[in-house]
Chains A and B, each alone.
Chain A
Amino acid sequence: MSEIAPRTRSALAPPVLVTTTLAVTGLVLLVFGATTSVLIAPAKAGIALLGIGLFLSGASRVGKALAGPGFDIVFWASAVWLVLLALAIAFVGWLPLGEDRDVAATVTEPVFATPTFTGPHPLGTNGSGLDLLARSLYGARSSLLISLTAVVVGTVVGGLVGIVAGYFQKAVDRMVGIATNALLAVPPLILLIALATVLEPRLRNVALSLSLLTVPGMVRLSRATTVAYANREFVTAARAMGAKRSRIMARELLPNVLLPITSLAVVMISVLIVAEASLSFLGLGIQPPEPTWGNMIAEGEGDVFEAHPHIVLVPGAFLFLTVFAFNIVGEKARQRWDSRSVKL
């Protein structure tokens, strides 16, 4: 701490023109770094990273100048990415993309084509000539479908069980507590692997096993929130007016539990996306030829990605950006809605 007073930023915001130039320079560097064939890979990655940094810092200043100091460029970039991805998934059947899973249809296509960002295979092809952009988008569809289903199922089940345990307490609470502890007694990925041994790797089964991961956390949060509210005046008042227990739980407690568990649900989405990808990477999730990000990355295993790094980097970038975006959005939701007064 070199000075006691907090650092203050200069009151004069830099002119929009300068910061826009900064942002554009960043973009140009990013495109150059991604497409140039002159430099070695680490140098290209360095240039691209520098470009992203410059772009974000420039765009953030432009945004702050235009929309006020509360503007958060990373949050908006994440939101834009998620919306774009959702749109692409919704319309993936109508997009002019290459073949994504039928190897017989790609006999004439180039194999291991590198990403050019233009032409028929913007993100390149894999060892069977399948289009990586199409595969990444279909992979995004199954990945998001699985994670969202799992989160919804886990949140509904966990939330309800938590409210019941928190409201009735005593024996019910103790039973629920032991069941939750038993679910938490197996590390998450190990639980998934054990279930994958016996369940067929179909979308529904994977989603259901993933939802088991969200249940304990949801139960604990919703139970703790319920306990914190169960003795408040409005609940006592409702009881004094003769409300039934089911009504108290549904009309008085549920609305208060809803916000914290929703913000936990947003955070859990990214955890589940990673879990699903890990499972497919281990060969225990959705099976090829159906593409998922995890099994696409697994294609690069062994020595393939030494010669063709884009096999790993393309699905890896999709996975990273999506998880990152959900983390940012989840963090925002948590700051906004999570009541810190409730102890887990």
Chain B
Amino acid sequence: MSAAALRRLALRVLELAGVLCIVSVGVFSLVVLLPGDPAVDILGPGRPPSEYAELRHELGLDQPLHTRYFDWLGGVLTGDLGRSVVPPQSEVSDRVVSALPVSAEIAVLGLLIALLIAVPLAMWSAYREGGIADRIIGAGTFAVLSVPSFLAGLLLVMVMVNSLGWFPRSEWVRIGDGDLLGNLHHAFLPALTVALVELAMFARVLRGDLIVTLREDFILAARAKGMSPLRILFTDALRPSSFSLVTLLGLSLGRLIGSTVIVEYLFSLPGMGSLVVNAANQGDYPMVQGAVLTIAVIYVVINAGIDFSYGHLDPRTRRVHV
């Protein structure tokens, strides 16, 4: 690595640290915005004042704000996200650790399904540009973009579970239980719901790039050599057309996390989504803080990784624009 590259990396890491710092302050200040007194919320009203004071002291609520922030940050950095204020008052980090794999599985599976469906659709569409298949795919993907994921999930359940009976709806089998097939069977429908919006976006972007690539001379040359259309599409056209798609993969991460949250809630899967939504509904602020911070850190780190890898994929993006 050259000195310039090292300097770039160092700047990136510094910026990353700055952003994470602001995020941690933001997440912490949720408590400040909290209406009412957490001690009253936990114990319920009508207890002697000494009990409230004791609990406040126990939770550290009687300390000044900056002390509390650094206490909290210290805990976070050592992997202690605090304790839930809603019975059974479990450790936030334990809950997060057990919920993360479920969400990750749904999101990754959803992304895979989206790519598996989007690439052939885009190829078909681009190869027969302006044809009837292209127009149907174009209209269909545009329509799918307007369906919120919770609606898509309910409609999928309506057709595939209630009418056709192909999939179970809500029990979840952990991968660790050794029943991989059962796990996939349960994960497929949620993952498909997550995949729907993404695949529409992917197919539209890839189609646009493919159409441009297919007009290039080297495609004409390949056709003249008598190569089959499928071979041309997969070996010659796909790679030069996929740069926008890779960019989109990074950009769609936020939406992917959002739809995973909703889909988990909809299918009652024990992931980060259900965790954070239930905690938010109960006003369980340590849980919300822990979960939001975890999600934000993962999101920022993945995004920074994608950003940084562009520099390696395409030298043109290394210069800072404007």
| A residues adjacent to B (C-beta < 8 A) | 1, 6-7, 40-42, 178-179, 181-182, 184-190, 193-194, 196-200, 224, 227-228, 270, 274, 277-278, 281-284, 294, 297, 300-301, 305-306, 309, 312, 316, 319-320, 323-324, 327, 343
Of chain A, the residue at the smallest CB distance from B288 is A197
| A7 smallest CB distance to B (angstroms) | 6
Residue from A194, A200, A306, A309 whose CB has the most chain B CB atoms within 10 Å:
A194
In the complex, chain A residues whose CB is within 8 Å of the CB of B214:
1
Q: List 27 A-B contacts (CB under 8 A).
A: A40-B163, A178-B15, A178-B22, A185-B23, A186-B23, A186-B295, A186-B296, A187-B258, A187-B296, A188-B254, A189-B257, A190-B258, A193-B280, A197-B280, A198-B30, A198-B35, A199-B33, A224-B322, A228-B322, A274-B148, A278-B262, A282-B265, A284-B280, A294-B150, A316-B155, A323-B148, A327-B142
Cβ B277 vs Cβ A185 within 8 A? no
Interface set, chain B 1-35, CB cutoff 8 A to A: 15, 18-20, 22-23, 26-27, 30, 33-35
In the complex, chain B residues whose CB is within 8 Å of the CB of A281:
150, 262
B202 at the interface (CB under 8 A from A): no
Total count of chain B residues near the partner, CB < 8 A: 56
| B231 smallest CB distance to A (angstroms) | 14
In the complex, chain A residues whose CB is within 8 Å of the CB of B283:
197
A193 touching B276 in the complex, CB below 8 Å, given contacts A181-B15, A305-B154: yes
Cβ A179 vs Cβ B145 within 8 A? no
Measured in the bound complex, the distance between the Cα atoms of B284 and A198 in whole Å is 10
A227 touching B257 in the complex, CB below 8 Å, given contacts A278-B148, A320-B146: no
Measured in the bound complex, the distance between the Cα atoms of B279 and A230 in whole Å is 47
Cβ A193 vs Cβ B277 within 8 A? yes
Cβ B258 vs Cβ A189 within 8 A? yes
Residue from A187, A312, A343 whose CB has the most chain B CB atoms within 10 Å:
A187
Of chain A, the residue at the smallest CB distance from B287 is A197
Residue from A41, A274, A284 whose CB has the most chain B CB atoms within 10 Å:
A274
In the complex, chain A residues whose CB is within 8 Å of the CB of B143:
324
Measured in the bound complex, the distance between the Cα atoms of B266 and A300 in whole Å is 11
Of chain B, the residue at the smallest CB distance from A284 is B280
Measured in the bound complex, the distance between the Cα atoms of B145 and A239 in whole Å is 46
| B residues adjacent to A (C-beta < 8 A) | 15, 18-20, 22-23, 26-27, 30, 33-35, 127, 130-131, 142-143, 145-151, 154-155, 158-159, 162-163, 214, 223, 253-255, 257-258, 261-262, 265-266, 276-277, 279-281, 283, 285, 288, 292, 295-296, 299-300, 321-322
| B199 smallest CB distance to A (angstroms) | 17
A interface majority secondary structure: helix
| A184-B254, A185-B23, A185-B299 given; 18 more Cβ-contact pairs under 8 Å | A42-B163, A178-B19, A182-B23, A185-B19, A188-B254, A190-B258, A190-B276, A227-B322, A228-B322, A274-B148, A277-B150, A278-B148, A284-B281, A306-B162, A312-B155, A312-B158, A320-B151, A327-B146
Cβ B254 vs Cβ A312 within 8 A? no
| A327 smallest CB distance to B (angstroms) | 5
Of chain B, the residue at the smallest CB distance from A196 is B280
A193 touching B19 in the complex, CB below 8 Å, given contacts A186-B295, A228-B322, A324-B143: no
Cβ B130 vs Cβ A190 within 8 A? no
In the complex, chain B residues whose CB is within 8 Å of the CB of A306:
158, 162
Of chain A, the residue at the smallest CB distance from B25 is A182
Contact of A182 (CB < 8 Å), options: B22, B261, B321: B22
| B21 smallest CB distance to A (angstroms) | 9
Cβ A316 vs Cβ B296 within 8 A? no
In the complex, chain B residues whose CB is within 8 Å of the CB of A327:
142, 145-146
Cβ A319 vs Cβ B148 within 8 A? yes
Measured in the bound complex, the distance between the Cα atoms of B266 and A64 in whole Å is 44
Measured in the bound complex, the distance between the Cα atoms of B21 and A65 in whole Å is 61
Contact of A187 (CB < 8 Å), options: B20, B34, B254: B254
A189 touching B261 in the complex, CB below 8 Å, given contacts A1-B214, A198-B285, A278-B148: yes
Contact of B35 (CB < 8 Å), options: A200, A283, A300: A200
Cβ A282 vs Cβ B295 within 8 A? no
In the complex, chain B residues whose CB is within 8 Å of the CB of A297:
150-151, 154
Residue from B158, B159, B214, B257 whose CB has the most chain A CB atoms within 10 Å:
B158
Measured in the bound complex, the distance between the Cα atoms of B128 and A6 in whole Å is 11
| A318 smallest CB distance to B (angstroms) | 11
Contact of B154 (CB < 8 Å), options: A184, A186, A312: A312
Cβ B20 vs Cβ A185 within 8 A? yes
Of chain B, the residue at the smallest CB distance from A198 is B33
| B96 smallest CB distance to A (angstroms) | 13
